[in-house]
Structure formats: structure tokens, C-alpha cells
Structure 1
Amino acid sequence: MAAVTYTLPFAPGGFIEYLLARPDVAVAWKKHTEHVFLERLADGTLPIEAFKYYLIQDYLYLIQFARANSLAGFKTKNLEEIVRSAEIVLHINREMSLHLGYCAEFGLSKEDVLKVEESQACTAYTRFVLDTGSSDDWLALQVALAPCLIGYGVIAKRLYSDPKTLREGNRYWKWIENYAAEDYDEAVRLGIALLDEHAQKVSPSRIEELVKIFIHATKMEAGFWDMGYARI
């Protein structure tokens, strides 16, 4: 039997670039990365109660994010990827400790955070990711997680370099700095490289399935900002 050959719509290493350039992705991506919640965070006019609620829900999200990465370790048979998943979970655990320290700057203790019910937006988003990981393969799970990892990097870089972003006297400037930092940028680069590598090995029809997962997860990310902005 002759081998099946096909041509992917992107060059090697170009999956994410291709993905973000697609018109169907671009609409959802813009709503996620240029949300009014972020614009008001950048100019310092975001009400503090809205940001505090976002911080609480983001911590609850990280718990599920750790579960998703634990699931990623289970979904692969590659030892290096199993180890990487374990390392990510440990990194999330450290990030959660830092997150609680940041919450404390806004008067929120761990007890304050944990007594708040998970929002519907947080539940919908994280369970979509976990369901994708449970019912589909390792790559689908990574694609479902990608709008968070990549999106925060894109958002922070844009706000950090935007001259209209308020720095002095902006209580949210530290949040922007954290996600614009070199260590987070490196995590984004590694994540993109991993997705690019694995996407090169699948068929064009599978790429279309992954695109749909990415768009839906991106809409869920925008819904997370909607959740925070609804507190205004």
C-alpha cells in the first residue's frame, strides 16, 4: 500500500503563526487579548473589587490548570513529556504561592480566596479543558491550554510596550510586569515550540479539529475577562 501524503497549510514551525493569522481565530483572539477589562487595567481605572474578584477566580482556575497538566502527563507515553508535565505542575504550585502573596497585597488571605464559589465562567472554561483532555489526545489538551499561556504573554507584551499604559501610580502595573517578564516569555516560547513540533505530525483534517478547540478555548478566555468586568 502506498504511503498517504498530504500538505499542511503552514511551514515547519509555523502552526501557531498560521493559527493566529486565520480570520476565524482572529475574531476570538482580539476579544480575548484586547478586552476592555485589560484596557482599564492598563490605564489604572479598573475598580479594585473587579480585580480582586478576578484574582480569586484566577487562583481557583490554577487549581484546575494543575489538574489539566497532571492529565497531560497521563495522556502521553513519552517520558520526557511526562516529566515536563510534572515540572509544570510544580511550577504552578510555586506560582500559586506567589499568587497568594499578590492577593495579600489587595487584602485577600488564602481563606478569603477559598471561601469564594468558583464562578460559572471559571467552571465552564476549566471543565472544557479537562473534558478535552479526557476525551481527546495529548495534543488536543495542549491546544485547549494554549490560549491561556500564549494569550497572557501577548497581552502583557502589548500593554508593557504601549506608551498609553499607566506605570506610575497604577496598582495593576505589577501584574503587567509579571507576565511580561523573561521567565514567562520563555515559558511561552517553549510552549509554542512544542505545539509547532507536534502539529507538524498530524493531517490537515486534524489541524481543523485543533483549530476549533483553540477557538472555543479562546472564547472561554474572553469569558473570564467578561466575568471580571461584570463586577464593575
Structure 2
Amino acid sequence: MTYGTVFAGWRDASPAWPAYTRHAFVQDLGDGTLPRAAFLHYLKQDYVFLVHFARAWALAVTKSETVAEMRLTAATVHGLINEEIALHIKTCAEAGIDEAALFATQERQENLAYTRYVLDAGHSGDLLDLLAALAPCVMGYGEIGTYLAQTKTSDTYAGWIDTYAGDAYQQVCANVGALIDGAVARRIGDAPQASPRWATLCARFDTATRLEVGFWDMGLAP
């Protein structure tokens, strides 16, 4: 499934993309060697991350210029709050961690740096700045899920892998890719790489990707 031409351009321009999508944390998920404590530590931090991420997507609704953009950004907020966060709640509940404890999780500095960077991108820029900062998480997890579904040698973390490799999440990635393509065409034209803004958007995407690498690093260091 394609995630859009603009995303492909941003991804190909990011030196950090392979370090993110093939990180040791990702490989350990696939072969089942990731310690359960590290996985739960990651899920707790990611729950907090998703709360802020949902706020950033809600900000995208206000940055939208068309009803179509509003529908897509609002649908993403719905998916984050009612579907993806639900996976974290369910998995942690099975380990005796309730949602109140998840919400009370103290944010690690890697989490703070990433979420506040994304929110600042939205508050200080327009929808394109915000989407460039949001895209690595959405699309990266889709790519990682597909990769792990094809290469995993253990079913230890099959539930997590199946969520991001599944049709529902892959459709989210396709929808966000179409949103980005449309938003870019509307604001800077059909040849975005010729725009003075292209380099800035690529840099913003790359920064968010490097922050994703830091998030995985944090996951391996409970």
C-alpha cells in the first residue's frame, strides 16, 4: 500500500529513516527477545506520547483549510483516542497496570522533547509544518508493522505487530498520505520539490524521525 508521493520524498531525504525503522528495539520485537519490562516501559511512555499526539492532530483540525482536511485530521484523532490508545490500555491491564497509572506515568525527557517539538511545529507553523512533524510516527509504524509481519521469527509480540501491519492501520497510513499530498498541492503546488519550503519541510520531517530514534533508544533503557 502506498503512503503518498510527498511522504516518499520526505522519507528518502531523511538520513535517520533506516535507523528508526530498523532500530534494535524493532528487531527485538520481531525475534521476541525484547524483555517484557522494556516493552511495558515503552508502552507506558507511548501512552503519554499518544495523548499529546492526539492533541497535535486536534490542532491539525484547526489548521485545516477545507472540510476534507478537517474530516481526515478529525478521523485520525478518533483513531488515536479510541483505537490505538486502547491497545496500550489492554496490554498494560493484562500486566496489572490500569489506565490511571498509565496517565500518571512520568514523561521521560525523550518523550518531552518529541511531543513538544511536534506541538511547537503546529503552533508556530501551518498545517504542512505540523504534518511533516507528525508523519514519521504514523507512517513509520505502518512501515515497521509491515516489515515485522514479513520477517518476525517469534509471536511474542504478535499482537503489537498485527495492529500496525493490519488493514485498518495501513488504511490510516494511506489516508494520511493522501492528506499530506493534497495539503502540499493546495499550499505550494504540484511540484513541491521546486518550492523554497521543500527543504524546510524535509528538515522538519528528519528532526521528528531522529526524535523517533531517541524514543526507541529510551525503550531499551527502562
In 2, are the aligned partners of 1:199 and 1:207 still within 8 Å (CA)?
A: no
**Could you tell me which residue of structure 2 aligns to residue 9 of structure 1?**
none
List alignment gaps of at least 5 residues for structure 2: 189-193
Does residue 77 (structure 1) correspond to residue 80 (structure 2)? The answer is no
In 1, are the aligned partners of 2:72 and 2:179 still within 8 Å (CA)?
A: no
**Could you tell me which residue of structure 2 aligns to residue 14 of structure 1?**
5
Q: Report the Cα distance in structure 1 between the residues aligned to 2:158 and 2:60, rounded to whole angstroms.
A: 33
**CA-CA distance at 1:112 after TM superposition:** 2.4
Select between 122-131 and 70-79 the one with higher mean Cα deviation: 70-79
What's the % identity of the aligned pairs?
Answer: 39
**CA-CA distance at 1:125 after TM superposition:** 0.3
In 1, are the aligned partners of 2:48 and 2:105 still within 8 Å (CA)?
A: no
- Count residues with an aligned counterpart: 212
Choose from 167, 191, 200 the match for 1:209: 200
**CA-CA distance at 1:111 after TM superposition:** 2.5
Q: Report the Cα distance in structure 1 between the residues aligned to 2:31 and 2:72, rounded to whole angstroms.
A: 37
Pairing 1:214-229 to 2, within 5 Å after superposition = 214-229=205-220
Following TM superposition, the consecutive aligned residue runs of length 4 or more in structure 1 with deviations greater than 4 angstroms are none
**CA-CA distance at 1:47 after TM superposition:** 1.0
Code of the residue aligned with 2:137 in structure 1: it is C
**Could you tell me which residue of structure 1 aligns to residue 173 of structure 2?**
188
Code of the residue aligned with 1:149 in structure 2: it is V
In 2, are the aligned partners of 1:147 and 1:218 still within 8 Å (CA)?
A: yes
Does residue 173 (structure 1) correspond to residue 158 (structure 2)? The answer is yes
Select between 13-22 and 93-102 the one with higher mean Cα deviation: 13-22
Q: Report the Cα distance in structure 2 between the residues aligned to 1:179 and 1:31, rounded to whole angstroms.
A: 19
Give the aligned CA root-mean-square deviation in angstroms. 1.5
In 2, are the aligned partners of 1:166 and 1:173 still within 8 Å (CA)?
A: no
Q: Based on CA coordinates, which of the two structures has the bigger radius of gyration? A: 1
Code of the residue aligned with 1:98 in structure 2: it is L
TM-score, normalisation: structure 2 = 0.90
